[in-house]
Amino acid sequence: MKYELSVRKHNVTAHLDIEKDIKIKKNGLFTFTLRINGGNIVDYSLVEYVDIKRKYLGVKAVVVKQSSTAHYS
């Protein structure tokens, strides 16, 4: 299969950043958001999901405490 990918000069840096992040990730889910303005990439945001069990092996339980805030007028 032959194809051509033309990248605007302005977008080259973003493409290189995405390629670098893909190489670092290697396997698994790779999620990101691009914000585009006039065909130019203006923002690249990588989304990472952290599995608490894998990252923090010493965690036995997670406690969630509800707090309330009073608003005075």
- Please list the rounded mean pLDDT of every run of 10 residues in the chain (73 residues): 85 92 89 92 87 67 62 47
Per-residue model confidence (pLDDT) at position 63 = 66
In a domain, 62, yes or no: no
3-state secondary structure 4-71: CCCCCHHHHHHHHHHHHHHHHHCCCCCEEEEEEECCEEEEEEEECCCCHHHHCCCCCCCCCCCCCCCC
Domain total for the chain?
1
In a domain, 73, yes or no: no
In a domain, 23, yes or no: yes
In a domain, 32, yes or no: yes
Task: Give the span between the Cα atoms of 2 and 50, in whole angstroms.
Answer: 38
Task: Give the span between the Cα atoms of 1 and 67, in whole angstroms.
Answer: 58
Domain residues for 42? 9-55
In a domain, 44, yes or no: yes
Per-residue model confidence (pLDDT) at position 66 = 61
Per-residue model confidence (pLDDT) at position 70 = 55
**Cβ(38)–Cβ(29) under 8 Å?**
no
